[in-house]
Structure 1
Amino acid sequence: MWYAHRPGRRARQIIGDGAALLWIALWAGTAVTAHRLVLAARPAPHERAGLPLLGPRMTGTLHDAGGRLADAAPAGPAPVQSLAVLVAVALFAVPVGLLCALWLPRRLRWTRQAAAARELAATEDGRELLALRALVRPLDELARFTDAGPGRLAEGWREADPAVLDALADVELRRLGLSWP
């Protein structure tokens, strides 16, 4: 389960996921652009200029020898290409890594909690555990979701009153943005 059942929570989750994808796409585009800019800024190979005091025949021979030497050089990534890759990886990895470190654990935690709550809500004992989890929440949170006072809720939980257990379990499910299975 990736999204809540309740519309408000689901909308916030979808907006958050969309913003995360947009953030990743933005930094991927920035990294590709930076890679291309670094490669475009590399120095041009030396132009063949005439050598003074030597005849045109000697100049051509020297240039031909230089061209053969350049062709014989090992083909590997040039320092500019390595720099371009390094810049692109850094521009992508740092902001996306921060996003994954902050947003992803919270999103995965909600997913695990929601799946566990759905499983618990389907069983009688699980309903009691959900009710207990709701009962240990701060009183102001509990008061927002139920009309009964905390004393009545605690007493109903101890006596295993089905109506109170259902109300408390519903509080916990609503906190997660879920509804009864």
Structure 2
Amino acid sequence: MRLYAQTRARRCRQILADLIAVLLIAAAVRFALAVRDGIMLLAEPGRKVEDAGGSLASGLDHAGEAASNVPLVGGILKKPLQSAAEAGNGLSDAGQSMQDVVGRVADLTAFALIVTSVLFVLALWLPPRVRWIRRSALVQGLLDAPGGADLLALRALTGPVKALAAVSVPPGGLADAWRRGDAHVIDDLSRVALGQAGLRP
């Protein structure tokens, strides 16, 4: 199985198409990651809420511990401070939840952008490449098969007229020469068919 043409012009076009496909996929991935980073900026308020809630809970917890040392009313003072510390922990948890949601949205968005972009590029690039690989294998198989040169010559005769300029016989006499089985003309025409497929004899 041949991946690239043997003729220089077609091989250059194939390599250029491959490079463009790779660059487009790389650009799509970079764009998706940039979008993800942009979405992750929305998690900043959640981080601030988490930090503020944690600090508030920690401060109130320490205050409750200190208040518990006050004689007679220490237990009474400690309870509301501990309740407020638990509320601060709830605020911290809410900030963490907000960050988790934003992170999931950012990851899913980036994943969707990457998959969509890659599939789009592959849908444009892969079918022509696969068609060429299959066609070149078919043409190569014809060349190697008995009587394959005749079929390749017929293929050249039914192709573009301008490609027949490389054959020494005038275009008007090519069909007659092919029907007579002129080995030289068949060889020339099979070379034309191979060149059209991007192959060399």
TM range (shorter): 0.7 to 0.9
* TM-score between the two structures when normalised by the length of structure 1: 0.80
The sequence identity of aligned pairs, in percent, is: 36
Q: Deviations over 1:11-39 (max 9, x none)?
A: 22112111111111121122223223322
Aligned 1:1-181 pairs, distance under 5 A: 1-42=2-43, 43-45=45-47, 46=49, 47-48=52-53, 57=64, 58-64=80-86, 67=89, 78-143=100-165, 145-180=166-201
Aligned residues: 172
Pair 1:147–1:161, CA change in 2 (3 A): closer
Q: Which structure's residues are more often helix, by fraction?
A: 2
Give unmatched runs, 5+ long, in structure 1.
51-55
In the TM superposition, residue 78 of structure 1 has moved relative to its aligned partner by 3.6
Question: Please, what is the CA RMSD of the aligned residues?
Answer: 2.8
Paired letter, 1:171:
V
1:59 & 1:173 partners in 2: Cα distance?
88
Counterparts of 1:142 and 1:118 in 2: how far apart (Å)?
A: 20
Superposed structure 1 runs of 4+ greater than 6 Å apart: 68-71
TM-score, normalised via structure 2 length: 0.73
Match of 1:53 in 2: none
Deviations 1:51-72 (A, max 9, x none): xxxxx6434432335527976x
Aligned-partner Cα distance in 1 for 2:146–2:19: 37
| Structure whose alpha-carbon radius of gyration is higher | 2
Which residue identity is paired with 1:44?
Answer: G
- Give the gaps of 5 or more residues in structure 2: 57-62, 65-79
Q: Which is worse superposed, 158-167 or 146-155?
A: 146-155
Q: For 2:111 and 2:191, how far apart are their aligned partners in 1?
A: 47
